[in-house]
Amino acid sequence: MTRLMNLETNEIIEVASYRTEKQQAAYIASKQAKASRDHLDTVRKRSISHFVFTEMGCFEGSLTLLNNKELGYFLLLQVYVDYKNMVKANADAKTPMTTKQIAEVLGVTEQTANRILKKLEKLSLIFRDKVVIAGRSYKAVFINSDYCFRKSKLGEFSDKKTDNTVKVFIESLQTAYEEGLQPAEIGFIYKTLQFIHYDTNLLVINPSEKDLDKVQTLSLDALATVVGLSVEETSRKVGNLQWNGMYVYGKIKVGRELMIKANPHLLYRKAGEFDKALGAEFIVNGKHNSIS
């Protein structure tokens, strides 16, 4: 029990516990930080099994004929596929997504959605087919499995190799788009998938190299060439793209060398759940406090 005096009345008050204003502020900040961590853990656990495998080695041929905005739309469509690569509104949807629904999730008019789909179909990135569900026929859009797929033990792509793929977490990308990430920015993200290193999530020239002594990091200049932007604009995108209060990329400077790392809460190479330490800097970065 603690005895306190009211300085105005000289009354003695006994209290079980108390905090100073500074202690209370620190307590509130601690609770908020814990709530934020708990939320991230919940999202991470919920989305860890909800991802699409996007192929890394397909950035030649048809994809080179798409601009960054069109690439963004294509990657967005990928996070709506089911285990047969049919585009659906969500995992529980019984029927394929209509063109109107596709337009809604892409945030475009139905006319624009049709134009996008026609171009993707012409380049063999998607195909359309009729499916019969519960005795009714529906027009469906399927994404070419050379570019992405989802796996389940008994699914159509259960034996498909994932060594050269990146897991794109479905809920994370959908949330990023809902929060305002632009199609061209998502296209920018799509172009970086081919460089994500298997063990470190760094953007590198040789992303499947296991010997860390031999890994060659990707410079900003080289990345700018790949994404078709100036070095300045590339640097801005790497430094500014965000969702859910986190950055999509992290810049890590060691001596004079600058390395770029993809956020594993959005993009990840390895099987299973990623170690929290791999993405720690994306959670704690910028959360400074004074020591007193």
For 262-274, give the DSSP string. E-TTTEE-SSSPP
Q: How far is CA 119 from CA 66, 112, 138, 271, in A?
A: 9, 11, 21, 33
Domain boundaries defined on the chain: 51-271
Per-residue pLDDT of the chain (292 residues; tens, 9 = 90+): 566 666 667 677 665 555 566 666 665 655 655 554 454 444 434 434 589 999 999 998 999 999 999 999 999 999 999 999 999 998 788 899 999 999 999 999 999 999 999 999 999 999 999 999 999 999 999 999 999 999 888 778 989 999 999 999 999 999 999 999 999 999 999 999 999 999 999 999 999 999 999 999 999 999 999 999 999 999 999 999 999 889 999 998 888 888 999 999 999 998 878 777 788 888 765 554 455 4
Tokens of 102: 């596709």
CA distance 165 to 16: 58
CA distance 201 to 92: 31
CA distance 62 to 48: 30
- Residue 273 has a pLDDT of 80
Could you tell me if 158 and 152 are in contact, meaning their C-beta atoms sit under 8 angstroms apart? Answer: yes
**Considering only CA atoms, which of 249, 235, 240 is closest in space to residue 195?**
249
- Residue 156 has a pLDDT of 86
Tokens of 19: 């905090």
Cα 232 versus chain centre, distance: 23
Residues with Cβ within 8 Å of 102's Cβ and at least 6 positions away in sequence, in order, are 77, 87, 113, 117, 141
Could you tell me if 80 and 95 are in contact, meaning their C-beta atoms sit under 8 angstroms apart? Answer: no
Could you tell me if 105 and 149 are in contact, meaning their C-beta atoms sit under 8 angstroms apart? Answer: no
Instruction: Domain 51-271: give its CATH code.
Output: 1.10.10.10
CA distance 267 to 23: 38
- Residue 25 has a pLDDT of 64
CA distance 38 to 30: 12
pTM of the predicted model, to two decimals?
0.80
- Residue 141 has a pLDDT of 97
Residues with Cβ within 8 Å of 180's Cβ and at least 6 positions away in sequence, in order, are none
Work out whether strand 12-15 and strand 2-5 pair parallel, antiparallel, or are unpaired: antiparallel
Q: How far is CA 157 from CA 28, 152, 160, 271, in A?
A: 48, 7, 5, 16
- Residue 80 has a pLDDT of 96
